């Protein structure tokens, strides 16, 4: 079985049982809801105790349980074709240069981690149509200046 086939099996079981993601998240628990759903969709790994809970919930065998604990091959072809996912891609394409400039001005030469990272999603009621709110928080990782010597900064922190 491939990881893609396991994802399809999980989705088939979810569909057949009429489960919501919220139900599944409540049964597995342990980490962010985005991480749990991402793992079941094949983009993240579950630590062994959570992989065991997921396997029990979905009636998976030991090989499938182990697969949930493996580091996956992440990502998808670009640009994405799903309209919702494409809008996130579009957000980065349009706003990315401004985000980069603002982060560098505030923190210096570096990046926002997508590994040491938290994300929450909320539904915000609005009379003109409910809104989706994402809050993202990633650790700032300064670039290291290799071979820095004689008082030069080793890392790309903001220079005053």
- 67 and 6 Cβ atoms separated by less than 8 Å: yes
Give the chain's largest Cα–Cα span: 66
Tell me: pLDDT of 150 over 90. no
Cα gap 41→92, rounded to integer Å: 22
Residues in the chain: 160
Task: Tell me if residue 90 is catalytic.
Answer: yes
Kindly indicate the confidence band of residue 154, based on its pLDDT and cuts at 50, 70 and 90. confident
Domains of the chain with CATH codes = 3-68 (1.10.260.40), 83-142 (3.30.1160.10)
Identified catalytic residue from 66, 74, 87, 131 = 87
Tell me: pLDDT of 152 over 90. no
For the segment 38-91, what is each residue's pLDDT rounded down to a tens digit? 999 999 999 999 999 999 999 999 999 999 999 999 988 889 999 999 999 999
Cα gap 77→75, rounded to integer Å: 7
- 36 and 2 Cβ atoms separated by less than 8 Å: no
Identified catalytic residue from 63, 90, 131, 137 = 90
Cα gap 124→116, rounded to integer Å: 26
Average pLDDT of the segment spanning 17-34: 95
Task: Tell me if residue 63 is catalytic.
Answer: no
Identified catalytic residue from 113, 131, 137, 154 = 113
Q: Is 157 helix (H, G, I), strand (E, B) or coil?
A: strand
């Amino acid at each position: 079985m491939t990881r893609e086939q396991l994802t399809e099996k999980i989705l088939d079981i979810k569909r057949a049982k009429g489960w919501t993601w919220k139900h599944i998240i409540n049964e597995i628990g342990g980490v962010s809801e985005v991480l749990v759903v991402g793992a079941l969709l094949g983009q993240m790994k579950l630590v062994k105790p959570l992989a065991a809970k997921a396997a029990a919930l979905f009636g998976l065998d030991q090989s499938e349980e182990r697969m949930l604990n493996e580091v996956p091959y992440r990502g998808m072809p670009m640009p994405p074709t799903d309209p919702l996912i494409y809008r996130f891609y579009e957000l980065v394409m349009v706003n990315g240069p401004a985000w980069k400039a603002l982060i560098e001005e505030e923190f210096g030469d570096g990046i926002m981690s997508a590994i040491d990272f938290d994300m929450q999603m909320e539904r915000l009621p609005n009379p003109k149509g409910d809104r989706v709110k994402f809050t993202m928080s990633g650790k700032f990782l300064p670039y290291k200046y290799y071979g820095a010597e004689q008082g030069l900064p080793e890392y790309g922190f903001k220079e005053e």
